[in-house]
């Protein structure tokens, strides 16, 4: 039997709107709180930090939001992305399950991050903003925002988590090639960075710290705004273009997923592929399962607590009601740098709390093992982050084999790993390890949070 290998859409089939799941959620997320007053934050209080249109999207209850033509023009460079039937992986696993993946690695920067970087730079540009700041972990978000800012004539300062700055020098080169300024965080260029260096000498940095630095600069410099690559509602909104395309493509393939899987850092690619399908559970009574795959060393969804917490380590951001390990949590130095984040975002956290989605964890060695199997079966070397989704998809496919079920599995290939080969080298050399997080450590960090939920 011949299987369809790849389903491509034409440019004309590219979605014209983003999908806002808040409109369809049975329980709406709790409000974000102002970090100082602990009262629900008002949109205008966030406008010093983010472009106005993005703040509007952050609070929007509208089901669909138009994608501006200028944004669609840039999306067209790499979108619609292909949906691929992973027949090589199916064969390698000898599973009756049908496995599909949405290939977001085909974007020029090699990941899904560009889907939000383009609109963020655009909405800042049309408001007359001149400078943006951001943080980056593995460097994927920084790369995406660098080229997006270049397209729209904005300059960009990227605070890059120190461990990634050292482990992934080529991502820094990518950002510099696109014209951004890259600074290892924590740095001595901000007040908060200097404080962190004094408090934790030799720290490898964390996303939380880098966010604090980027936010400080945005709040204190004129015509400057900050851009975040995940977690927030407007970022997740932009990523729903992934799932909307995938829905059309699955329809062409003649299948509908029983399980949808994404790796999970702050939630943007998982939510992006899941939410358009999750809507069918809400309005059409479908019973699709949604699985967020997180690293065992940073287990906010599987072992964290639902509390109000800050998005950064200093408490500059609004308080978000979310599953969190506490903003002081310092994740182990795993190579999936994009998944080293303590929190989860408000929408996805509410959905998990209401048992409408699931979460699973994957340890570092299993994630690389899955990545190598996938590379050899499908020819694409996945980003260390994406290997977590692959590992979870493999688990589901092997379960299907035990059950003799032909279930349909869809996962998001959030990015390729061609700039992460140093990590693969270390895996092959036997230098990588798994990291355990103790219940005490989690409890200790979470206990510090003020109980506001
Ligand atoms: C940033 C990143 C992730 C994690 O971020 P999410 O917001 O959870 O999607 C996953 N995969 C890749 C390739 C990334 O660059």
Q: Each residue of 180-229: pLDDT tens digit?
A: 999 999 999 999 999 999 999 999 888 888 999 999 999 999 999 999 99
CA of 262 to the centre of ligand 1 (A): 9
Taking 90 as the threshold, does the pLDDT of residue 337 lie above it? no
CA of 413 to the centre of ligand 1 (A): 10
Taking 80 as the threshold, does the pLDDT of residue 61 lie above it? yes
**Is 105 a pocket residue for ligand 1 (Cβ < 6 Å)?**
no
**Is 208 a pocket residue for ligand 1 (Cβ < 6 Å)?**
no
**Is 266 a pocket residue for ligand 1 (Cβ < 6 Å)?**
yes
- For ligand 1, atom 10, the nearest C-alpha belongs to 385
Confidence of residue 1 (pLDDT cuts 50, 70, 90): low
Q: In which region does residue 169 sit, left (phi positive, over 0), alpha (psi from -120 to 50) or beta (all else)?
A: alpha
CA of 137 to the centre of ligand 1 (A): 10
Residues 6+ apart with CB under 8 A from 370: 362, 387, 388, 390, 391, 394
**Is 371 a pocket residue for ligand 1 (Cβ < 6 Å)?**
no
Confidence of residue 2 (pLDDT cuts 50, 70, 90): low
CA of 230 to the centre of ligand 1 (A): 8
Which atom of ligand 1 lies nearest, measured to the CA of 270?
9
322's enclosing H/E stretch is strand 319-324
Is pTM, for the whole model, over 0.75?
A: yes
**Is 171 a pocket residue for ligand 1 (Cβ < 6 Å)?**
no
Q: What is the mean pLDDT of residues 49-56?
A: 98
**Is 140 a pocket residue for ligand 1 (Cβ < 6 Å)?**
yes
Which atom of ligand 1 lies nearest, measured to the CA of 267?
8
Of all residues in the chain, the percent with pLDDT exceeding 90 is: 90
CB of 90 within 8 A of CB of 390? no
Nearest of 331, 337, 332, 328 to residue 309 by alpha carbon:
328
CA of 404 to the centre of ligand 1 (A): 32
**Is 267 a pocket residue for ligand 1 (Cβ < 6 Å)?**
yes
Which atom of ligand 1 lies nearest, measured to the CA of 339?
4
Confidence of residue 35 (pLDDT cuts 50, 70, 90): very high
Six-digit token pair at 210?
Answer: 């880098």
CB of 370 within 8 A of CB of 86? no
């Amino acid at each position: 039997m011949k299987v369809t290998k790849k389903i491509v859409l034409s440019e004309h089939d590219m979605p014209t709107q983003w999908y806002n799941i808040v409109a369809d959620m049975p329980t709406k997320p709790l409000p974000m709180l102002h970090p100082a007053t602990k009262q629900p934050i008002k949109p205008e209080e966030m406008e010093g930090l983010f472009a106005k249109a993005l703040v509007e999207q952050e609070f929007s209850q509208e089901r669909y939001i138009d994608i501006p033509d200028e944004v669609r023009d840039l999306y067209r460079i790499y979108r619609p992305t292909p949906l691929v039937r992973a027949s090589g992986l199916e064969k390698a696993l000898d599973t009756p399950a049908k496995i599909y993946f949405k290939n977001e690695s085909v974007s020029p920067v090699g990941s899904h991050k560009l889907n939000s970087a383009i609109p963020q730079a655009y909405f800042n540009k049309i408001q007359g903003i001149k400078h943006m700041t951001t943080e980056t972990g593995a460097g994927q978000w920084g790369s995406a925002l660098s080229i997006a800012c270049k397209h729209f004539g904005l300059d960009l300062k990227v605070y890059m988590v120190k461990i990634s700055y050292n482990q992934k020098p080529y991502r820094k080169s990518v950002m510099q090639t696109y014209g951004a300024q890259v600074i290892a965080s924590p740095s001595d260029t901000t007040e908060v960075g200097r404080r962190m260096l004094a408090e934790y000498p030799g720290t490898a940095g964390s996303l939380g710290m880098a966010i604090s630095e980027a936010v400080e600069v945005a709040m204190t410099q004129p015509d400057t705004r900050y851009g975040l690559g995940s977690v927030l509602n407007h970022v997740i909104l932009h990523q729903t273009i992934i799932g909307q395309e995938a829905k059309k493509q699955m329809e062409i393939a003649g299948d509908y997923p029983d399980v949808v899987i994404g790796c999970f850092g702050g939630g943007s690619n998982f939510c992006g592929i899941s939410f358009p399908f999750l809507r069918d559970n809400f309005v059409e009574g479908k019973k699709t399962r949604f699985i967020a795959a997180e690293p065992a060393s940073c287990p906010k969804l599987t072992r964290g607590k639902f509390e109000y917490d800050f998005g950064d380590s200093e408490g500059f951001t609004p308080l978000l009601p979310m599953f969190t390990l506490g903003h002081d949590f310092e994740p182990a130095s795993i190579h999936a740098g994009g998944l080293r984040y303590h929190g989860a975002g408000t929408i996805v956290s509410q959905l998990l709390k209401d048992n409408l989605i699931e979460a699973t964890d994957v340890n570092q060695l299993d994630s690389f093992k899955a990545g190598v199997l996938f590379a050899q079966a499908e020819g694409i070397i996945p980003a260390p982050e994406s290997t977590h989704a692959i590992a979870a998809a493999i688990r589901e496919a092997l379960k299907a084999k035990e059950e003799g079920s032909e279930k349909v599995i869809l996962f998001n290939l959030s990015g390729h790993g061609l700039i992460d080969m140093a990590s693969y080298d270390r895996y092959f050399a036997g230098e990588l390890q798994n990291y355990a997080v103790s219940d005490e450590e989690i409890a200790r960090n979470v206990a510090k949070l003020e109980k506001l939920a």
